[in-house]
Amino acid sequence: MKVEVPKMPDTENPTLEKWLPYLKEVVGDPDDQLVLVGHSLANITILRLLEKMAEGKKVGKVVMVAGFTDPLGYKEIESFFKTPIEWDKIKQHCSNFVAINSDNDQYVPLKHADIFKEKLGAKVIIEHGKGHMGGSENMKELPSALEAVK
């Protein structure tokens, strides 16, 4: 298994216009063996990638950690949500979604996990007391994400 962790461009000023082409380049020609794992804002970028994917192309699985479906009141990330999420197009390119959220995420309410379950049929995993599950919590490992990838 090959694992890549791309460094998204200009993370201090993220925009879909910068992130989506970069992710497309990293992913290249996707196939059903590809598992995409995103954290926070990377999740909507992955979903936008799936929306735009060529007909007939599929990825094997998408694991979304601390994902969300609207700009959460942050003007800085509104570019990712200028257009409605096209759930049906997304499901044409992947049928296996896992949403991992924390019950005390200071940024992302749990309702987003429910939206992923409703719109994508995502398996939902609720972590307890893990915050936003990123660098600010000094998290180095998330066993539920590793298990979801397997």
Reading the block at residue 47, the tokens are 């979903």
For range 13-37, the mean pLDDT:
96
Q: What is residue 99's predicted lDDT score, i.e. its pLDDT?
A: 98
| Amino acid at site 129 | G
| Environment class of 28 (CB within 10 Å of its CB; exposed 0-12, middle 13-18, buried 19+) | exposed
Is 128 domain-assigned? yes
- Residue 97 inside a domain? The answer is yes
* Tally of structural domains, the chain: 1
Residue 25 lies in a domain: no
Residues written for the chain: 150
How many whole angstroms separate alpha carbon 133 and alpha carbon 110?
A: 13
Q: What is the pLDDT of residue 46?
A: 98
Query: Does residue 43 form part of some domain?
Result: yes
Q: Which domain holds residue 129?
A: 30-149
pLDDT 10s digits, 79-114: 999 999 999 999 999 999 999 999 999 999 999 999
Task: Specify if 122 maps to a domain.
Answer: yes
- Is residue 67 included in any domain, yes or no? yes
CA distance 100 to 108: 11
Q: Is residue 21 part of a domain?
A: no
2 assigned to some structural domain: no
Kind of pairing between the strands at 123-127 and 61-65? unpaired
CATH number of the domain bearing residue 92: 3.40.50.1820
